[in-house]
């Protein structure tokens, strides 16, 4: 037994880890590598404490039994990764403003209908970065049929996104001119939190979505889809299925933005690359 294992609060065997990896994969499509072992332990140890368990075997027995179905949401919330920030990969938002939304503002589509999707929205910072960008590009956006769908598998993150409340230090990534217009102090003059203004929150709709569930409770067609740093957790076959569905849900010539460590080579031939992790659906 290693020193790390002896110092752990709960016994966590190789069998426990691999069984949990299998359950995560079956439930979410996420593939956890060996180096995620410590992460799995630390995140699920909180659930063991909350439930009064003394070993991981008890927890595995719970989530694999019919009566443990109610714990699955907390299990998935604990395992999923939610690294995000406002205006992450800023070049995407510059492109969205200048190459997508400003041209739409100059030549509005029928009914001024525009739909964007933040797929894997985490706590909502990506969605609201899209909303701020849209408001800047389309000043009279309240007169448009404009909506942003934000989806995630983590219900805790969806709730945070709906509230639109963030720490001041998180808001430092928002351009200063945007902070003044789109964020307000939350909780009083001395509070260390800010909230996205109602006008932008009204543009955004947060919904639960597990990518491997069928059918998706999502209706297209979308002008823009952001799915960034999400598919890196899936195997190639799952990635192929996901991007095939994204292609189906995008308008002809619709835009797709993916993460900096992702690419569509060998995954999808439905898109053409038009820049750094920026793709357009081939009509």
Query: Which residues are the active-site residues?
Result: 43, 152
User: CA–CA separation, 165 vs 169, rounded Å?
Assistant: 12
Helix residue ranges per DSSP H, 164-210: 168-171, 176-182, 198-201
State the residue for tokens 């898109």.
271
Instruction: Spell out the residues 6+ positions from residue 193 whose beta carbon is closer than 8 angstroms to its own.
Output: 165, 166, 167, 168, 185, 186, 187
User: CA–CA separation, 140 vs 228, rounded Å?
Assistant: 28
Write the DSSP assignment of 110-177 as a string of letters: GGGEEEEEEET-TTTHHHHHHHHHHHHH-TTGGGSEEEEEEEES-HHHHHHHHHTEEEHHHHTTS-HH
User: CA–CA separation, 243 vs 13, rounded Å?
Assistant: 36
Instruction: Please answer whether residues 82 and 116 qualify as being in contact, where contact means their C-beta atoms are separated by less than 8 angstroms.
Output: no
């Amino acid at each position: 037994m290693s020193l790390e294992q002896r110092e752990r609060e709960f016994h966590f065997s190789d069998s426990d880890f691999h069984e949990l990896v299998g359950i995560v994969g079956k439930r979410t499509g996420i593939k956890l590598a060996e180096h995620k072992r410590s992460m799995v332990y630390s995140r699920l140890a909180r659930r063991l404490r909350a439930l009064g368990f003394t070993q991981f075997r008890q927890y595995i027995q719970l989530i694999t039994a019919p009566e443990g179905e109610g714990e699955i949401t907390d299990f998935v919330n604990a395992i999923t990764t939610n690294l995000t920030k406002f205006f992450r990969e800023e070049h995407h938002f510059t492109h969205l403003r200048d190459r997508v939304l400003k041209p739409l503002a100059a030549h509005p589509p029928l009914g001024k209908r525009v739909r964007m999707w933040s797929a894997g929205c985490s706590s909502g910072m990506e969605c609201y970065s899209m909303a701020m960008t849209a408001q800047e590009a389309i000043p009279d956006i309240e007169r448009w049929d404009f909506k942003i769908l934000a989806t995630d598998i983590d219900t805790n993150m969806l709730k945070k996104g709906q509230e639109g409340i963030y720490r001041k230090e998180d808001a430092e990534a928002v351009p200063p001119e945007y902070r003044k217009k789109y964020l307000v102090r939350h909780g009083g003059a001395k509070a260390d939190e800010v909230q996205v203004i109602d006008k932008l929150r009204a543009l955004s709709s947060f919904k639960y979505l597990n990518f491997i569930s069928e059918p998706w409770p999502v209706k297209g067609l979308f002008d823009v889809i952001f799915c960034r740093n999400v598919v890196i957790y899936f195997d190639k076959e799952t990635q192929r299925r996901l991007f095939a569905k994204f292609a189906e849900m995008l308008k002809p010539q619709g835009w797709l933005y993916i993460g900096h460590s992702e690419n569509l080579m060998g995954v999808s031939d439905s898109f053409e690359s038009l820049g750094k992790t920026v793709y357009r659906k081939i009509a």
